[in-house]
Amino acid sequence: MSSETIPVGAQRDRRTIPGALEFGVAVSAVEGGTVVQVRGDLDCYTAPQLRNVLLELADGPRRVIVDVGGSNFIDSTGLGVLVGGLKRLRQQGGDMVLRAPSPSTTRLFEVTGMTRLFEIA
C-alpha cells in the first residue's frame, strides 16, 4: 500500500483517485425550460461545476430539470448545490425538478427529506 503526502490545505486531485468516474454537466434547452444532465459522482470535487451551471441559469429559464440519472452517488456538498439552486430559482419565480434518480440516489433523497423540497420525476 502506497502512502501519499498532501500539504495541509491542499485538495487531492480527484482524477488521481483509482476508480473515480469522469464527471460532466451538459445543458440543453427544451420546450418549457432547460435540462441539466449530470454524469458521474456529484461530490465535493465536482459540485462546484454544477453550482456554476446553476448560477448561470438562475436569471434565465423558469424551469430547470436536473437529470441525475447518470449519477449513482451524491454527497452532502452535492445536495447543498441542488438545494441552493432550487432556492435561487424559486426566488426568481422558477422551479427545479430532479429527473431519473438511481435507486441509491432516490433513497438518499428520501432519507434527507429532499422529496419534500423537490419534484422528482
CB-based contacts of 60: which residues, under 8 Å, 6+ apart? 34
Structural domains of the chain ordered from first start: 23-120 (3.30.750.24)
pLDDT value of residue 18: 47
Higher pLDDT, 117 or 22: 117
Amino acid making up residue 98: L
DSSP letter string, 53-94: HHHHHTTS-SEEEEEEEE-S-B-HHHHHHHHHHHHHHHHTT-
pTM: 0.81
Question: What pLDDT is attached to residue 118?
Answer: 93
6-46 residue pLDDT tens? 455 545 555 555 445 688 999 999 988 899 999 999 999 99
